[in-house]
Amino acid sequence: MAEHGAAGVTIADVSERAGVSVGTIYGRVGNRANLLRTVQEEELARIQASMVATLAALEADGAATVESIVDAYVQGMASSAPTLRSLVQLAAAQQELDAAGPAAWREMREVIMGSLERASDVVVAPSSDSWRSWVYEVLDAATFQYLESSTPQSAAGQRRLVKNLIRTARLLLEAGEGPVGASE
């Protein structure tokens, strides 16, 4: 899907790549729509599992800092950008597939925010679930805005993004949301 986009995914291509017969694919998923849904679910699960493993390793090594977590997140999303682009296009084109994305990203939010809240170098202010969601959305939106930019991405550009996201995450986590209704 990352190579050809969602429109270019055929059961025959998947069959060839997986080394199984077309009949096996049809037997497992039934039709192209189910194939795309399965690919979407498996890719989102793969991306999340990779992130969970990376963050668990950081925590096990005592290296889970805001910097290392944000850097791991940006690197993980950058390495998955072609696949994620295809999944977004797929969801936009096929409404029935649009529902899987938000659930997967809620799970990813919990993974990232949990790690950030356990980071060894930040004192996290108490906050609500809606604040936690907003903090994650800021990190996620900035990361994807950078990855989707039409200007070529460089190592220096990615380092600058990570540096700015580290500062942003630290400020938001330490400040918390303030008194309820204070900003309303």
d(CA 23, CA 145): 40
Average pLDDT over residues 120-146: 92
Torsion of CA 58, 61, 64, 67, to 10 degrees: -80
**What are the boundaries of each domain within the chain?**
36-175
Band of the pLDDT at 6, cuts 50, 70, 90? low
Phi, psi (degrees; rounded to nearest 5) at 31: -155, 175
Predicted pLDDT at 17: 79
| Percent residues over pLDDT 90 in the chain | 46
CATH 2.60.40 fits 36-175, yes or no: no
Tens digits of per-residue pLDDT, 17-72? Answer: 778 888 888 888 787 777 778 888 888 889 999 999 999 999 999 999 999 999 99
d(CA 170, CA 67): 9
d(CA 40, CA 96): 12
pTM of the model: 0.82
